[in-house]
Structures are given as C-alpha cells and as structure tokens.
Amino acid sequence: MNRELVRAVRERAAERREYCCIPQFALPLPFQIDHVIAEQQGGKTVPGNLALACPHCNRYKGPNIAALDPESGQLVRLFHPRTDIWTDHFEFQRERTLGKTPVGRATVQVMAINASEPLRFRLELLRAGITL
Ligand SMILES: [Zn+2]
C-alpha cells in the first residue's frame, strides 16, 4: 500500500479508531490499515474500503464481513466505517460499547470490542477525564 494512501487514511480517521474509538495516543502499538471488505472477499485497496483500526480490532475482525447478531441469531453484515455512522449503531455505557442495531451487536461480538484489554484502555481514558 503506498505511503500517501496510508497517510490519507490516518488523517481521515484523525488518529482515532474507527471501530472502537480509542485514540492512538492511548495505545502502545500503532494502528493498522484495515480493509473493511477484506481482500479475500474481493475488497479493493481504495480509500472507500479502508479504515484505521487498532491492533485488537484488526486482529479480531480478520477477513470477516458478517456475523451473527447475538440477540436474534440472524446473520448480518458488519459495521462499515465508510458508509455507516458510528452513533447509529453503537453507544457507550461507561467503558463498554453497546450495539444498538443488529449490525452494531454483531460487530461488537465478532471484534470482541468489550474484551478485557479494550475495556481497560477505555476505563483508563474515562478516569483521566477523556471522553471517547
Ligand atoms: Zn479497536
């Protein structure tokens, strides 16, 4: 991936995760460029298919593009940071991220957004008075 594209994706995300919203400065490891629709699924390396993800989100998302909504058991697509609006699908309840829609719930589940490590980082930010 060329350097200019990587920089553009990082700037667009304002150095924040586009999935779980913790800023880069809160994490020791650099964020990664995520193909929203994985290359294995035919996703292209173009701005409209790229997002900035923390290592945790990127690892858990992997090549997934859909998952089961834990509430209904229905197979639904995952959140798409380029075409979806974060607050339409998620909300914070203190350090936890709650899915408000089937897409939000499935994304929280498959990306383990409420796993202990991300929760710890979010709690530290809240304690420091930083609102996500
Ligand atoms: Zn993340």
In a domain, 46, yes or no: yes
Q: What is the mean pLDDT of residues 13-23?
A: 79
Cα-to-centroid distance, 17 and ligand 1 (Å): 6
The DSSP output letter for 23 is: B
pLDDT of residue 16: 64
Protein residues within 5 Å, CB atom, of ion ligand 1: 17, 19-20, 54, 57
Check if the beta carbon of residue 48 is closer than 8 Å to that of residue 74.
Answer: no
Can you give the pTM of this predicted structure? 0.92
Q: What domain range includes position 112?
A: 3-127
Q: What is the mean pLDDT of residues 15-44?
A: 88
**Cα gap 100→19, rounded to integer Å:** 14
In a domain, 15, yes or no: yes
What confidence tens digit (pLDDT) does each residue in 44-75 have? 999 999 999 999 999 999 999 999 999 999 99
Check if the beta carbon of residue 95 is closer than 8 Å to that of residue 78.
Answer: no
For residue 109, the surrounding DSSP H or E stretch is helix 102-110
In a domain, 110, yes or no: yes
**Cα gap 39→45, rounded to integer Å:** 8
User: Which residue in 24, 23, 25, 11 sits closest to 131, CA to CA?
Assistant: 23
3 state SS of 41: helix
Q: What is the mean pLDDT of residues 24-49?
A: 93
pLDDT for 118 beyond 80: yes
pLDDT for 15 beyond 70: no
In a domain, 88, yes or no: yes
Q: What is the mean pLDDT of the chain?
A: 92
Cα-to-centroid distance, 91 and ligand 1 (Å): 14
In a domain, 132, yes or no: no
In a domain, 119, yes or no: yes
pLDDT of residue 71: 97
Domain count of the fold of the chain = 1
Going by pLDDT thresholds of 50, 70 and 90, the confidence category of residue 17 is low
Cα-to-centroid distance, 9 and ligand 1 (Å): 15
